[in-house]
Amino acid sequence: ETGVTQTPRHLVMGMTNKKSLKCEQHLGHNAMYWYKQSAKKPLELMFVYNFKEQTENNSVPSRFSPECPNSSHLFLHLHTLQPEDSALYLCASSQDAPDYGYTFGSGTRLTVV
């Protein structure tokens, strides 16, 4: 139990589908993050939310749309994805201090067909 729960664990979707990834933490953290992990590449930071406000969008294509309704929940809405978007999507949370370290979820393995 990592304290950060991501659902679903696996997702296969067509390029015309719309789906959402969910992340939930009850650690009392106030910052939440979406990362993309592709084979043989560094982890790519996608979005950062701090106290529910988006503080960073790392040049992510608009087919990825984040939503943070409160400091415990984070969503990533997906539409018209491409095969190269297939990856492991990791959610993380932390306290509002960079030296605190992140708590990661187990990730959602996304396959776009």
Partner 1 sequence: AQSVTQLDSQVPVFEEAPVELRCNYSSSVSVYLFWYVQYPNQGLQLLLKYLSGSTLVKGINGFEAEFNKSQTSFHLRKPSVHISDTAEYFCAVCGSGTYKYIFGTGTRLKVLA
**In the complex, which residues of this chain contact partner 1 (CB under 8 A)?**
2, 4, 6, 31, 40-43, 45, 48, 50, 55-56, 90, 92, 98-99, 101-107
Peptide bond into 8 cis (omega under 30): yes
Q: How many CA atoms lie within 13 A of 21 on its CB side?
A: 30
Smallest gap from Cβ 99 to partner 1, in A, equals 5
Q: Which is nearer to partner 1, 11 or 90 (CB)?
A: 90
Cα–Cα dist 74/91, whole Å: 8
Smallest gap from Cβ 27 to partner 1, in A, equals 13
Smallest gap from Cβ 106 to partner 1, in A, equals 5
